[in-house]
Amino acid sequence: MELLGPLKFLPLYKNKLWGGNKIKAILRYDYSPLPNCGELWALSAVPGNESVVTEGPLEGNTLNELLEIYMSDLVGDKVFDKHQNEFPLLIKFIDANDWLSIQVHPDDELAQARGLEGGKTEMWYILQADKNAKLIKGFAKDMSKTEYQQSLKENSLETKMNYVNVNSGDAFYIGAGTVHALGPGILLTEIQQSSDTTYRIYDWDRKDETGKGRKLHINEALEAINFKAEKTNKVDYHIHNNQSMPMVDEKYFTTQILHFDNPIEKNYDELDSFVIYIVTQGSFVLKSHQGDMNLGIGDVVLLPAITEKIELHPLPKATLLEVFIK
């Protein structure tokens, strides 16, 4: 498949009540005329939000069209057998300039019972965090359903949550059912199952310009929530120069981190999966059979499953997340 080389896609910008300007200031994306950009969808097959190839011989094709044409050559035999013509992951950048709602996502079983596209397990990698930035991950202690419902009645849910201080380079695995929220001053990349289902359970009594609060999903969330306290906060990982190092290894996705200051040759011929690169620091040249591709912070590239060998040449150093499905 000579046409099928590394793929870049047009960004999809989302104006959010809580969005800021770091996607422009730090990641170099121009989202005008939007007043802010809370989310940039970098790789998406969600209906109505389909990523479009931005350069090369396949320019103008959507991710979904490529999957219909190239099938397992694009995603790998195992992935295609399981997901067919549905690309399984969604990659975003999120800029939280204010608290996001306290929310939860359903798991696969509940989503399918409700006729939804699937569950939503995700991970976050913090690209930049202001001083004293925090996020919420789960409850501070085990809750009963009755205690939880009482906290909603008393408008005290935020006092029951587990708050975590965050810094650049921190990573978090957010399993479906974990109640969570991002606080102000955080720019991150999110790797998640391909789902746009979110149940808001508390929105900080926030009102929009018309004086109305955003819709909550109290009843829908109740069955989705894991009421156990969080046992772990941050992902424990290490960096070794010029070597891919494990971060998250779960059934929905595997994520590795690669920091390199020497040229790297990658051979994926036995992986049987697509690979997504998310550039988190620095810049480099990706060399493939289709030529050179210059990449820097904020770029996202999809390597088709038939990719065998590529070369990464740092300028003079770079860090990326390497995402695939085992």
Residues labelled catalytic: 200
User: Do residues 92 and 186 touch, judged by C-beta distance below 8 A?
Assistant: no
Angle at 147 between CA 146 and CA 152, to 5 degrees: 95
C-alpha 191: how far from chain center: 3
User: Do residues 52 and 60 touch, judged by C-beta distance below 8 A?
Assistant: yes
State the burial class of residue 205 (Cβ atoms within 10 Å of its Cβ: 0-12, 13-18, 19+): exposed
The token duo for 58 is 């396949």
Q: What's the DSSP call for residue 64?
A: H
Q: Write the secondary structure of 216-271 as one string of H (helix), E (strand) and C (coil).
A: CCHHHHHCCCCCCECCCCCCCCCCECCECEEEEECCCCEEEEEEECCCEEEECCCC
User: Do residues 273 and 79 touch, judged by C-beta distance below 8 A?
Assistant: yes
User: Do residues 125 and 137 touch, judged by C-beta distance below 8 A?
Assistant: no
C-alpha 116: how far from chain center: 19
C-alpha 72: how far from chain center: 23
Q: Nearest Cα to 300, choosing from 290, 310, 286?
A: 286
Q: Nearest Cα to 126, choosing from 294, 257, 284, 264?
A: 257
Place of tokens 């990698």: 125
3-state secondary structure of 65: helix
Q: Looking at this protein, which amino acid is placed at residue 52?
A: V
Going by their DSSP bridges, the two strands 245-249 and 161-165 should be labelled as unpaired
